[in-house]
Chain A
Amino acid sequence: MSQTMQIGERETSLWGRLRLTIARRTEGRGVVLLAAVLIVVAFTEPLVFTSYQVSLGRIALIGLVALGLTAVILMGELDLSVASTLAVSGVVVALIPDIRLGIIAALVVGVLIGVVNAFFVAIVGINSFIATLGMLFALRGLAFVLSDEAPVKITDVEAGIAFGQPLIGPITPRVLIFILAFIAIQVFVSRVKAGREFFAVGGNRQAAYDAGIPVKRRIFTGFMISGFVAALAGVINTLERTAADPTAGATVLLASFAAAIIGGNYLKGGRGSIVGTLIGATALGVLQVALTLSGVQVPIQQIFIGGILLLAVTTDPANLRAVLGSVRSLRLGRSKLQTPGSGS
């Protein structure tokens, strides 16, 4: 009766299990980039390592926004509006005199933006690329309207300055918030049923529907997470600078996307990891700080980051496989041109 079919070898050796674990993971490109960045920086700008608080801070900001993006990307959607959400919530917190009320209001705004995004994507059925793009534009306008097109100073300047001070060792509140957010979202996506189902919504949406997963609800959750962390980033930004900039967010958008994608998160959804995003954010954060410390001007930094994003998005392993396959096929076909002769 216990005739079992052994299919799929069970790896028991340590080396074998290690190899398996590596093969299963998606963060490969992120690790490569991080290693490359660290090695180059070690030689050219070792200052980066000694003044690591700056790096931590940069990684935290990029990573925070990227975390939210990852949640949405895993489901096969995009949230381009995060840059404007950051700006709007930054302005909101500056406008409200009571800082605690301001922070809460800003976060609520972020969540609401997420709800609106999800509404257009899940209920109306608009492609998330376009829906969030439209929101990106509209919210940029909102940020300008609320701020009267000029930076807005926060009322409680001391609180803002205090926010920038390190709390535990070199860890500033910004970094702490990022660490907490990372843990929360990582746990959500790996241990909470609703979070696990994000992979199903992105990986095989039809199967998700058939299995009874509330796909629309998950989409709402994802966009709300994205809006929330973007708002968080906006609040942090405003507090630390003691003023809100309605144009904030553009470069962070670029770097966050680069971080998420090179961290192995597949744009079509269903594949990737939060850890990968962390690795990607670390790579990009260190890179940016190194460039700044080397005195490289901002435009060149943008070229670097833009270039990495372009590379990341064109070298997606799944797409590449198809491209390489067709190249191989063509070479096969050209292998030997026949001499003239008819068939029998």
Chain B
Amino acid sequence: MAKETLTEVIAVAETESAITKSKTSPLEWIAENGIFVFTALLILASVVFVDGFASLVNITDVFHRAAPIGIVAVGMTFVVISGNYLDLSVVAQVATSAVILIAVSNEYGLPLAMLAALLAAAVFGIVNGVAVGYFKANAVIVTLSTTYIGLGLLRYFSGGSIFFGPPDGLIREFGLGKLGPVPYSALVLLIMTIILGFVLNRTNFGFLVRSFGVNERATRLSGTNTAAVVIGAFLVTAVAAMVAGWVLAAFSNTAVSAMSQGYDFRALAAIIVGGTSVFGGKGSVLRTLVGVIFVSVLTNVLVLSGISFGYQQMALGALIVTAVTVDALSRKVAKR
């Protein structure tokens, strides 16, 4: 009862003005728009200062590496915006999809392989979605467990071996294909960004994902089946991871269970750096794309500069923590 009275008194205080105008502090502005500026600056600086960055070979390579991670990231954005932190099992999903594509297509042809991969993605998405959306379990722990279940299954069935696609097959052709300097894989990323962006911004489902992230209770009380929304978000991620696996397999025309290592945190880094809040509700697929560009260029610059993998990882981890800190602080300032 004390709680109610206080809320009501504060609410009465609001009636001083029919509207409270909010002023955006510099910190909030940086949190909101910084990434666009930083990305542009980073690209500029890299072209000018980093040897070998601006070459055609290198740019193509950046595209190639960015594409699969980017596809995963734009898909996983749905889970992050819904307030469910992230989907760690993308690591297992990408590798599973790649292995299924090459291994199954070698025996049974491409269409069946794609169908099988779709089925696997659906299973991942539904298991994750039901556990988090219906049983209301913590997404981080759930996807941690499904990662290992998935990787375990994959390693068992694939025996850990490397699968090779036929040297003249469709997969190889796709992997080598380019439109000007832009490889097909990057085009796929672009197309997926556009499609998923449309879904997130213009469809009922995307709308519900966003409102669920802003206020789960209000969304539920407006008559929505929130479990379905969460399952949908994880399914989108699963399908995106599936496509990413195909792209990854096409790149090298091979597939092995270990090839998707690090996809979980790289995708998360891209999403968070892009400005999508890990607390849910705020963000967009476009931002994730910008984040992907930023992270990929940064990684590329680090590699070109001879910085070892370990430092790269540290840098990305630090980047995640910094971006989340900025987000958290800007929220605190906004509340005041």
Contacts and interface: CB of A to CB of B under 8 A. Distances in A.
Physical contact A–B (CB less than 8 Å)? yes
Given A144-B310, A149-B308, A314 B85 contact: no
A133 B312 contact: no
Contacts of A134: 317-318, 320-321, 324
B131 A314 contact: yes
Contacts of A131: 321, 324
A94 B278 CA distance: 37
A239 interface: no
A254 B151 CA distance: 13
Interface stretch (B54-62, B135-143, B206-214, B289-297): B135-143
Interface string B258-269: 000000010011
Contacts of A300: 152, 156
Interface in A267-297: 267, 297
A95 interface: no
B85 A135 contact: no
Contacts of B148: 251, 254, 302-303, 305-306, 309
A92 B82 CA distance: 39
A313 B308 contact: no
Contacts of B138: 78, 129, 267, 313
Contacts of B149: 302-303, 306-307, 310
A83 to B, nearest CB: 10
Contacts of A305: 148
Contacts, number: 155
Interface stretch (A105-113, A194-202, A214-222, A316-324): A316-324
A138 B313 CA distance: 6
Contacts of B324: 126, 130-131, 134
A162 to B, nearest CB: 31
B146 A130 contact: no
A307 B144 CA distance: 10
Q: Lowest 5 A-B CB distances belong to which pairs?
A: A138-B317, A141-B313, A144-B310, A141-B314, A145-B310
13 contacts: A78-B140, A124-B328, A125-B328, A129-B138, A137-B316, A141-B314, A145-B308, A299-B151, A305-B148, A306-B148, A310-B131, A310-B149, A314-B137
Given A144-B309, A251-B148, 11 more contacts: A126-B325, A127-B279, A137-B313, A138-B321, A145-B308, A257-B144, A299-B155, A303-B148, A303-B149, A313-B138, A314-B142
